Chains A and B, each alone.
Chain A
Amino acid sequence: MAEITLKTLAHSYSKKPAGPEDYAIRKMEHVWAQGGAYALLGPSGCGKSTLLNIISGLVTPSEGDVLFDGKRMNELPPEKRNIAQVFQFPVIYDTMTVYDNLAFPLRNQGGFSEDWIREKVHEVADVLELSGELKRKAKNLSADQKQKVSMGRGLVREDVTAILFDEPLTVIDPQLKWRLRRKLKQIHERFDITMVYVTHDQLEASTFADKIALMYEGQIVQFGTPQELFERPAHTFVGYFIGSPGMNFFEPRLTDEGLMFNGKAIPVNEQILDKVRRSGSDNIRLGIRPEFVTLGTDTGEQRYEVTVTGVEDLGTYQMVDVEFGPVTVKVRIPEDQPVPNDAASIGFPDPWLKVYVDERLVEADHE
């Protein structure tokens, strides 16, 4: 059983990193608790695979420590760490049968009787629905079965405390993806293993994981439940990356009266405004998700005049583009709500309008 701690961890592939751009992983602190199902989500090239390989030991970090239950693991090779890793493309031993593939890690470990190995292999094959294929040569399996075999090799080992997945469903057909993901969840519930799942697909991340770590430019910018990432993005990138489409952003001007945009004041919480003022930064952004913007024709306090420029009917809902001064705001409204012809107004209901200073969320302190 292992709790994986990353302590002041950073990694650069170049020998003499000059600036932060040279780092694949920028200085981070993170803890993956024992038994959790986590997703490591982020765009291509954000360092998520590097981070995974550092945890498994395939890459040695250039700075900081990797701790398993408080024990430093940096120098230990992957074979000495109690982890398993499933790769993007299924890795199977071509010439072996499925049975031998699953038994392979146990035989390498040594000291187990064939009877015990057989029992263990059958147990895992059962869970993965591979029992019927045990005698087949692994190279003749379909892609999803191969990927299950890759996974199975991690599951047979009793010493495995964490399984790391590196975009394991890339080569799987969409219908099977859904089934395999469910399978993963079941396995997680049954075996009490820490699972870290790397993906660039937010849907995959949120269906698999209890908690998502969202990575951007070598850093974990937010770690939270799918709901938290959706409702309270801690970083503008989270707002942009999660949700489809992502958050609407616009840049207000900070004046003595408050935040102004398009000639009108946009009221925000006093405490937040105070923090924005004290930050002294002029990189201020307001963000709201298309789901939370209200669209109508009524005017008045805290309604902002806009022009409707486009409507996209997506079957179960409508996505409306409105021109709000210099920016286009996307609004998601129910299928049956009439779309105002031309002149319309939008509103930003209170808890959903977020303020970002230097790309990071500013919030009122909780009392």
Chain B
Amino acid sequence: MNKIENNKAWFFVIPVFVVVAFSAVIPLMTVVNYSVQDIFGANSAFWTGTEWYREMLRNPDLQAALLRQFAFSFAILAIEVPLGIGIALLMPKKGWAASAALVLVAMPLLIPLNVVGTIWQILARSDIGLLGWSLSSLGMDYNINANAADAWFTIILMDVWHWTPLIALLSYSGLRAIPDAYYQAARIDRASRWAVFRYIQLPKLTNVLVIGVLLRFMDSFMIYAEPFVLTGGGPGSSTTFLSQALTTMAVGQFDLGPAAAFSIIYFLIILAVSWVFYTAIMTLQKDKSAQQ
């Protein structure tokens, strides 16, 4: 068969091309443009090449924020994923109780980010907040504005409260999709409760968990509003995560060049980590013999 040259069907791609250009390519390229220049005003821009990038990577504040960011993201993933699966396993399977549980579990997801921050900010106050007051009454020296460990503990607790429901709901839907025959076959094979979880439920959840882990990783890596409202990044800079460091630089100090370079680095880190996650999970499922 001869391939038709000058195929006009390519024009059909134009709408998608335009949408993607405006939604992703053009904004990203603008940032790239800033990141390789030093711009003083409308008509005075100097080419700087990779200088901003090198400077950003050497910046100790940003390095610290990046480490903090990784620590935070992995901590919440390590808590939220097992906890979410656990909650999904405990949720009722049918009847009114199932609907009630779904609504209750989904509740935190419906609250806007800065409201979540505000709620927890009040909750953590030792004079009127339930959490802060209770801990103080128990004799603990709890103060998120003075003690970095307290601030970390509260932020992680807040994120777990806010986002574990997402993992729970995803897992719940994954569990509901497992046909009864699997459980019946497992009973006939005399599988223990643990074996049922390990060999039936967990494998069947892989796909939803991939989505859940990626979403939670990306979202937590970009977390901004909640810690900003809750601790303002403090005490000191102990809870200043990447996006807050970036905002301070870009909006507060108006260092567009470094901020742009840093945005690109930020973006590439998220992309790389997500890719590693995804590839790792997918490789687990492949046939060993097929790879040889």
Contacts and interface: CB of A to CB of B under 8 A. Distances in A.
Contact of A96 (B179, B187, B199): B199
Interface string A109-150: 100000000000000000000000001110110000000001
Contact of A58 (B187, B191, B202, B204): B187
Interface in B88-131: none
A93 B203 contact: yes
A79 B187 CA distance: 6
A84 B188 CA distance: 6
Contacts of B58: none
B192 interface: yes
Contacts of B288: 135, 137
B276 interface: no
Interface string A46-89: 00000001001010000000000000000001110001110111
A150 B185 contact: yes
A87 B188 CA distance: 11
The winner among B184, B192, B200, B204 for most chain A CB atoms within 10 A is B184
Contacts of A105: 189-190
Interface size class of A (residues with CB under 8 A): 20 to 34
A293 to B, nearest CB: 44
Given A58-B187, A108-B192, A140 B287 contact: yes
Interface in B201-219: 202-204
A104 B188 contact: no
Contacts of B191: 104, 108
Contacts of B189: 104-105, 108, 153
Contacts of B285: 94-95, 137, 139
B181 A91 contact: yes
Nearest to A160: B188
A79 B288 CA distance: 32
Contacts of A153: 185, 189
B164 to A, nearest CB: 25
B289 interface: yes
A77 B185 CA distance: 12
B187 A93 contact: no
Contacts of A104: 189, 191, 195, 199
B203 A95 contact: yes
Contact of B195 (A77, A108, A140): A108
A323 B39 CA distance: 97
Given A85-B184, A89-B179, A136-B289, A109 B199 contact: no
A87 B181 contact: yes
B290 interface: yes
A91 B185 contact: yes
A154 B190 CA distance: 11
Nearest to B204: A94
A255 B93 CA distance: 62
A108 B195 CA distance: 9
A190 to B, nearest CB: 21
B187 A137 contact: no
B182 interface: yes
Contacts of B187: 58, 77-79
Contact of B188 (A79, A89, A136, A139): A79
B156 to A, nearest CB: 31
Given A58-B184, A136-B289, A93 B200 contact: yes
A243 to B, nearest CB: 32
A52 to B, nearest CB: 11
A93 B199 contact: yes
A84 B185 CA distance: 8
A78 B179 contact: no
The winner among A94, A135, A139 for most chain B CB atoms within 10 A is A94
Contacts of B286: 137
The winner among B182, B185, B187, B289 for most chain A CB atoms within 10 A is B185
A84 B289 CA distance: 30
Interface in A270-295: none
Contacts of A78: 184, 187-188
A56 B187 CA distance: 10
A108 B185 contact: no
A217 to B, nearest CB: 24
Nearest to B184: A58
Contact of A79 (B179, B190, B204): B190
B95 to A, nearest CB: 15
B199 A88 contact: no
The winner among B188, B200, B287, B290 for most chain A CB atoms within 10 A is B188
Interface in B150-201: 179, 181-182, 184-185, 187-192, 195, 199-200
Contacts of A89: 179, 181
27 contacts: A56-B188, A78-B187, A78-B188, A79-B188, A79-B190, A83-B188, A84-B188, A85-B184, A85-B185, A85-B188, A87-B181, A87-B184, A88-B181, A91-B185, A95-B202, A96-B199, A104-B189, A104-B191, A105-B189, A108-B190, A108-B191, A108-B195, A136-B290, A137-B287, A139-B285, A140-B290, A153-B189
Given A79-B188, A89-B179, A154-B188, 10 more contacts: A78-B188, A85-B188, A88-B181, A96-B199, A109-B190, A135-B288, A137-B285, A137-B288, A140-B290, A153-B189
Interface of B: 179, 181-182, 184-185, 187-192, 195, 199-200, 202-204, 285-290
Which 3 A-B residue pairings sit nearest by Cβ, starting from the closest?
A: A91-B185, A87-B181, A108-B190
